[in-house]
Chain A
């Protein structure tokens, strides 16, 4: 990973303040970098910044790095970090705060894409379908072609059924999605009043291959 220098201009205090003021964010300034969150996290080794580092970057207001990191998308919402943090910080909740902000800025790294595909499938069918998930995700993520042989072997063992199990009445579900979209819009106007820089962010995918 290329290392950058933290310069006065890399810090976005408005972004930092916004996160600190969001629900559960007020304790972020008291993080002592003990690392029990990252040590407890079952997936921190897959993240380009551990939860501890993410909290640190927020303390500094490193907006670009925070929003482009895959951390928020890798998080499984297991809450291990949150129950153990001795300062009462809620990294799990922090991830939830950051996701809509990253989306509204049009940040689409491969982990975010997976989240998108997943929610699309649910939105349409009301239920998850491994087949749809994998095929749609492969279309948007060319790197997935490498996984094709594995997919075929799963398919041949009957682990990837083609039939899609649909929900009968998706009324309530639709309402939930509508609500979500509204929140997203709000996040957008809050963080980005007026300006749109989506194009640039498209290429800002961090190098996370491990």
Chain B
């Protein structure tokens, strides 16, 4: 037991000014002074993450001055790994180095509050962390063998690239929701900025995927369920029926010639895989095709099937889809000859249904075409999307060029707000389009009114002139905001990967870890990380393949050692029943843990009726010691927060969303490790309120939260102080800060009421 270890621990506290990011708001010297009686050494640096800063800690460890290091700095999500590997090199067990976040969760979010309130928070957090670090034990991470197989989800250019780049060294399974590969790129005409034909550059890649011995490619397939944990997932796949066996079909077309209702078809000539398929909504079930197929490839009774695959890593490449512009009432979409840019592209692509001809609804060529940019993008009212969809400025110019190329005297107008053409070759592309005689109008289109003759009236302000204008066009092309594919959220939830508030997958680090997610065994590439062009999607595909390969190359994955220890057991089996991951079993009348199956969720801790289970380094006593120290520096609201919600608090910090400085976060692996003992201790030590904030999307846990909360509420009622539970996903940082503010105010008001009442009571009893 850690409590029994000898007491001469040499704790080094290292505080970082972070330039002025922390030092300008928090009086670090005062924090250091407040530690005088704690028997610790304190050191303040400008930049702890610099080599000089790290060197200082390393020296202290090597010289034996420090055998436990506490760092007060930016979020552990940024540099914990760096500092811990430094500690390891210096000979210290990495788990004995911890970080307390005084930047994202203090100096950046309270700089409008009184200095003293921020300082007392900082002192409390650091003292709590000092108390905690002196109470924890050195742990060694557990090792788990990795499965050397990767699941790539999404067969667009990003997924194709990831799969091909990986497949020479690792086994790959590529799954695609559609009946064919290629994603949006197979529906493009020419590709900017060089105008080479999309299918000409894509088809060889699709064929390579199909033929690669290391790649198993499955179309019409989606992820149904994910079991297991990082590095060792068992994934259930769902296959919707094609009714034609891909392996048998030789695309002779005999079936299609016999089908009376046009229900059996080849998606398009270059489709990979090359096989017919049936649209069951059209099929009359007459069996004509079955009879005529020379290869016996058709099965009209095929049903949806499932299969299972075990993988060590997952790459998400599920791309984007255009937003449906019908919510923009003033544009009156859909209407004849009013299309989206994706529909425009498809007409001129491998998927064309018009023989690669640009044509209006009546089959003739449109002589006047308008392109309407930012349809649903750059909108901060909640009606559309805030972000710029990035590719529309350039592809609309490509499309305008194509119109001019097909008919020289045709007119192409581009209505834009800002012509965004940054980057290599793009300004030249803009210039070239101008030379072709395309008409640019600076102004967001105000209205599109369909006319009786199927033309469209466009009303706008030419903002360069300050004049209103109206024009009639044969065809109007809306360039819609690009949003994550339908189902991105469900997939991300299954894989435990947070999304940003824009719905795209959140990168591990926006700049420095752009294709890693917050789950170490899940990677992402292409438009699922935000709108981008082919060049960037390919670059990310290559990067993701490299990252996956690096990850799998280690053969082992380290898993956190903060697991339950069974200190006392009467064999009742309550924990075994409670464990959501089947990680506990009764052996010889005692509970035994399988550490690799255990996720450290802590459900077993409060489940044990004799309090015989504790999570290592998050024991009841360790938490209580920490709480006591935090609250010793002044009253506050204790907020227990899990790693996913912690990430939301960090994003709030990065966005400088201010909230009450009474908030004191206490980081826990999961809120389910908590029982009334801990919450009561928080109240006893002076917390004016306690919040439990959970961010995990794992239903096995969230489905228990309500019950946990009700039980805790009941068991801590005697304190008459507010307790609250909230579910906050990583993307919901704005909701988080709003909640924190409301709760801090509530808890404050309640505390005031209580103290007024106490004073009155005192007076009363004094009078008696």
Contacts and interface: CB of A to CB of B under 8 A. Distances in A.
Interface in B363-420: 374, 378-381, 383-384, 417-418
A44 B468 contact: yes
A84 B466 contact: no
Contacts of B379: 86-87
B245 interface: no
A36 B372 CA distance: 12
Interface in A1-48: 27, 30, 32-41, 44-45
Contacts of A33: 417, 463
Given A34-B463, A38-B463, A52-B461, A86 B446 contact: no
Contacts of B378: 32, 34, 86
Contacts of B461: 35-39, 44, 50, 52
Contact of B444 (A49, A53, A86): A86
A106 interface: no
Contacts of A52: 461, 463, 466
Contact of A35 (B330, B380, B381, B444): B444
A151 interface: no
Nearest to A34: B444
B579 to A, nearest CB: 49
B380 A88 contact: yes
Interface string B439-457: 0001111110000000000
A86 B460 contact: no
A88 B381 contact: yes
A85 interface: yes
B459 interface: yes
Contact of B466 (A36, A50, A88): A50
A39 B443 contact: yes
Interface string B454-474: 000001111100111000000
A60 B648 CA distance: 37
B466 to A, nearest CB: 6
Nearest to A33: B463
Contacts of B466: 38, 49-50, 52-53
Contacts of B459: 39-40
A87 B443 contact: no
A33 B462 CA distance: 11
Q: Which of A33, A34, A45, A49 is most buried by chain B, counting CB atoms within 10 A of its CB? A: A34
A107 B374 CA distance: 39
Q: Which of A44, A53, A86, A88 is most buried by chain B, counting CB atoms within 10 A of its CB? A: A86
A53 B462 CA distance: 12
A32 B444 CA distance: 10
A209 B347 CA distance: 50
Interface string A68-110: 0000000000000000111110000000000000000000000
Interface residues of B, number: 24
Contact of A40 (B417, B447, B463): B447
B109 to A, nearest CB: 21
- Prevailing SS type, chain B contact patch: loop
Interface in B463-495: 463, 466-468
Nearest to B443: A35
Nearest to A81: B446
Contacts of A86: 374, 378-381, 383-384, 444
Interface band, chain A: 20 to 34
Contacts of A53: 466
Given A44-B468, A53-B466, A84-B330, A39 B445 contact: yes
A39 B444 contact: yes
Interface in A104-128: none
Q: Which of A27, A36, A52 is most buried by chain B, counting CB atoms within 10 A of its CB? A: A36
Contact of A32 (B381, B383, B417): B417
Contacts of B330: 40, 84
B381 A39 contact: no
Contacts of B443: 34-36, 38-39
B121 to A, nearest CB: 29
Contacts of A88: 380-381
A97 to B, nearest CB: 20
Contacts of A87: 379-381
A53 B465 CA distance: 11
B468 A39 contact: yes
A52 B418 CA distance: 15
Contacts of B418: 32
B446 A39 contact: yes
A40 B446 contact: yes
Contacts of B442: 35
Contacts of A44: 461, 468
Contacts of A49: 466
A44 B459 CA distance: 12
Contacts of B462: 35
Interface string A132-157: 00000000000000000000000000
B445 A36 contact: yes
Nearest to B460: A39
A30 B467 CA distance: 22
Nearest to A48: B466
A39 B417 contact: no
Contact of B446 (A27, A30, A45, A84): A84
A84 B418 CA distance: 18
A30 B442 CA distance: 18
Contacts of B447: 39-40
Given A44-B461, A52-B461, A36 B381 contact: no
Nearest to B417: A34
Contact of B468 (A32, A34, A45, A85): A45
A43 to B, nearest CB: 10
A50 to B, nearest CB: 6
A38 B468 contact: yes
B418 to A, nearest CB: 7
Contacts of A32: 378, 417-418
A49 B463 CA distance: 11
A50 B468 CA distance: 9
A27 B468 CA distance: 24
A161 B72 CA distance: 82
A123 B442 CA distance: 45
A49 B466 CA distance: 8
A206 to B, nearest CB: 14
Contacts of B446: 35-36, 38-40, 84
A36 to B, nearest CB: 4
A36 B447 CA distance: 9
Contacts of B463: 33-35, 38, 52
A30 B463 CA distance: 17
Contact of B380 (A30, A38, A41, A45): A30
A84 B446 CA distance: 8
Nearest to B441: A35
B383 to A, nearest CB: 8
A27 B384 CA distance: 17
Nearest to A50: B466
25 contacts: A30-B380, A32-B378, A32-B417, A33-B417, A33-B463, A34-B378, A34-B443, A34-B444, A35-B417, A35-B442, A35-B460, A35-B462, A36-B444, A36-B445, A38-B461, A38-B466, A39-B459, A39-B460, A39-B468, A44-B461, A44-B468, A45-B467, A45-B468, A84-B330, A86-B379
Given A39-B459, A84-B446, A86-B374, 14 more contacts: A34-B374, A35-B417, A35-B443, A38-B461, A38-B463, A38-B466, A39-B468, A40-B459, A41-B468, A44-B468, A45-B468, A53-B466, A85-B381, A87-B381
Interface of B: 330, 374, 378-381, 383-384, 417-418, 442-447, 459-463, 466-468
Going nearest first, the 9 A-B pairs with the smallest beta carbon separation are A39-B446, A35-B461, A38-B461, A34-B444, A35-B463, A39-B461, A86-B379, A35-B443, A40-B446
